[in-house]
Structure 1
């Protein structure tokens, strides 16, 4: 259309003003088209840069280098993260759209899962830090080949995060992360969690150590009815899985200690607090300074209770313990508090006072083997006392050959030599032949619907095998 209009303007059939309206161009542009048309003809429509490479075009060598890096090294990074890593680690600066095009060419674009979602009502952030914190754990292959759990707490107002790796989502891990937040910032108002048993959901009959610790600290626990209710911590785990896992892999981190160190000293300070954290709407913080009277060692631990018996003993861990502390009045039938800071040891408290306890060693019944060995030793002692093996044999009812054999075993190998020696693969003389056993087992497996009497009868009829129903059973 442009060529036809400019040709008619050159022939004087259309004015410049009408051509400007038809082409939706300015009068100056139409005059430039006309001047070029008179010089080169209809080729004026071809742009002057056609066939020339742009001055800012990235070289093919850089393009191939980036594609190789995407395939071999940065295969699990998203485009924004990929651009950052190329700039920081490889000193290659490429625009995001160019990276996207190159990644599409080799089919290495990390796509998010697309699924139909329910519409949830948007909830505004809290106005100040410390009003509401969300806690959850994420089991994933964060580093290495084994799964581990990342327990994290995020502030709803600023998205400030505190996290640590553990082997699994445990009460001790949640208490440790919550304690680190309180020691750094102070007491917060409410904790938003799911209905897992660790936090006191229905599986724990609405009680847990976390719930007990929060009650003692004055922190309210709010239970979410859906994952979307605590969406801030759920989206934080998406970001952490998207960015933290590749960085741990690129740094060769495969153990939990190194992963926690990288998370605390590199990832959270250098990436999360610079790029993810936001400014609260209110400048004042709602974190309350911790009172000097509060002792975390008595709160952020596991507490259990046991009933004291009449003799001032109690049971814990399948063992009995006696209260050694001097007590003026009886505390029988009262509850004693067991405080367990780790898996190895515990302390017992009553009315806030630490009690001295000792393990009660109860006698155990000897095993049949020990009884049998003691009988042999008694017969040998009797023979030594009487000085006559024949007389010891008459009194004990054990043959002289047996007494001599036991004495010889005791001299050669000690008491352990008197234990009953099991002879491998030795069949009893009254046991059914091995071939008949195999026949019965094979026939029973092929005919599982038959009872023992029917199996016995059919084996006799078809295979001439004589075996009783009790033998089949």
Structure 2
């Protein structure tokens, strides 16, 4: 029965060289040059080849268990912990938790193989490569902050469906601010930006998508369109007052930094909150600063230019007076204006004619408090009784409605042509 021998390509190449060396066709120095070995090593290999033939060229460790192999008992213990606590964790995140709380010292690749063999992790399928043009990071922290809202089941089935507002610096990849909110609204973004300004100052620009919070998207005739330079949303108006630029991304890939962060957060943050039994928006917001610090320590990088691009707020810039809803109304002859489905009247001791038909700025803060200003002076206002909406109609429409009530319907006779059957 023929005897088979498994040899590597390197070992097969050594066979022909050793034959030439044994038959003295070449010298040991030349054989060492061909094989990329020292002369001493070539002589040792030649000795084994003469004594054992081809078997002498096979590596001595082949078929033997490595001295560095993870003990089966340790592998079993690790898999048991993963199945109990981290069953849907990926290898990287699972390894972090195993090192922190269970004293596991495996490498990430070893743990990945263990999880695949134990059928607790299924590797992702390789997708077709889609190439997008890369954009260089900004050089300074604060030059560009990517901002987005990510609606998701952040608390899984333990709490409400909500949105995470994410702000990430383009130059460093740092998470600058995180906040859970019920929905992606203007008020929610105002609150998040207010916190950002308090912590860091004013960035040069925010990089956002084309959500209706950030820009006017209507193209209807007669409405302020996206091409109208005065067509600002409340958020856009506030950023103009603060001298903060707004850059609109044409696609999700354009603001890939924050999109990738959303994907990572939907994996890591969800699992971290599960381990801590966090199930409400309030509890989540209380935990976010700790998570943000740990995330930035692990993933953030240093900027190319260490000079911070954030600008301090000017003495004339008060976020609480800018980050709110502002609209213009014109007073009636009775000094009244409509806002929020209510009728307000200005209370003043001045002659009424001084303010008749005057334009006033109406503001509403996050608490719903409504105020009115005329030439930067606050006006005293009170809610007046509002009459029900009345629709003006002409005489013809009134006549038609009356006819519907008093007119007796005409019933045709039995022999009327309309009652005949048509075949």
What TM-score do the two structures reach when normalised by structure 1?
0.68
What is the aligned counterpart of 2:285 among 253, 260, 276? 260
Note the residue ranges of structure 1 that are not aligned, 5 or more in a row. 365-452, 458-473
- What is the 5 A alignment of 1:354-369? 354-361=378-385
Give the superposition deviation at 1:109.
3.5
Structure 2 residue runs without a partner (length 5+): 1-11, 219-223, 226-230, 389-417
Aligned match of 2:312: 289
2:331 to 283, 308, 328: 308
Correspondence 1:245 to 2:245: no
Give the distance between the partners of 1:166 and 1:110, measured in 2 at CA: 33
Deviations 1:65-100 (A, max 9, x none): 222333342233332222211101221111122112
2:237 counterpart (212, 235, 260): 212
Distance 1:310 1:113, change over 3 A: farther
1:288-312 CA-partner distances (Å, limit 9, x unpaired): 2112232211101112333322111
Deviations 1:123-150 (A, max 9, x none): 2122222222221111111223342111
Contact 2:156 2:270 in 1 (8 A): no
Distance (Å, rounded) in 2 between the aligned partners of 1:253 and 1:277: 25
Q: 1:110 to 1:280 in 2, by over 3 A?
A: farther
Structure 2 distance, partners of 1:22, 1:279, is 47
Change (3 A) 1:226 1:47: closer
Match of 1:70 in 2: 82
Aligned residues: CA RMSD: 3.1
1:356 is displaced (CA, Å) by 2.0
Match in the other structure for 1:400: none
Name the residue aligned to 1:368. none
Is 2:342–2:386's contact at 8 Å kept on the other side of the alignment?
A: no
Change in 2 beyond 3 A, CA 1:332/1:228 = same
Q: CA deviation at 1:220?
A: 1.9
Instruction: Give 2:153's match in structure 1, choosing from 141, 154, 169.
Output: 141
Q: CA deviation at 1:24?
A: 6.3
**What is the TM-score normalised by the length of structure 2?**
0.76
The alpha carbon displacement at 1:41 in A equals 6.9
The 1:245–1:35 alpha-carbon spacing in structure 2 relative to 1, beyond 3 Å, is: same
Q: Does 1:31 align with 2:43?
A: yes
Residues 54-63 or 35-44, more deviating? 35-44
Distance 2:15 2:134 in 1: 56
Residue 42 (structure 1) shift:
6.4
| 1:102 is aligned to 2:102 | no
| Post-superposition offset of 1:57 | 1.9
> Which of 92, 97, 120 is 1:85 aligned to?
97
Partner of 2:213: 198
Comparing both structures, which one devotes a greater share of its residues to helix?
A: 1
Structure-2 residue corresponding to 1:334: 358
- Which residue of structure 1 aligns with residue 66 of structure 2? 54
Say if 2:326 and 2:362, in contact at 8 Å, map to a contact too. Answer: yes
Number of aligned residue pairs: give it.
365
Query: 1:20–1:325: structure 2 CA closer, same or farther, 3 Å change rule?
Result: same
Q: Does 1:187 align with 2:199?
A: no
| Aligned: 1:173 with 2:166 | no
Give the secondary-structure state (helix, strand or coil) at the position aligned to 1:134.
strand
Q: 2:341 aligns with which of 315, 318, 336?
A: 318
Residue 222, structure 1, aligned to residue 247, structure 2 = yes
- 1:350 aligned partner: 374
Q: C-alpha displacement at 1:171, in angstroms?
A: 0.7
**Structure with more contact order per residue of length (Cα contacts < 8 Å, sep ≥ 6):** 2
Decide whether the 8 Å contact of 2:236 with 2:246 is kept in 1. yes
Secondary structure class of the residue paired with 2:213: helix
Q: Is contact 1:143–1:245 with CA below 8 Å preserved after alignment? A: yes
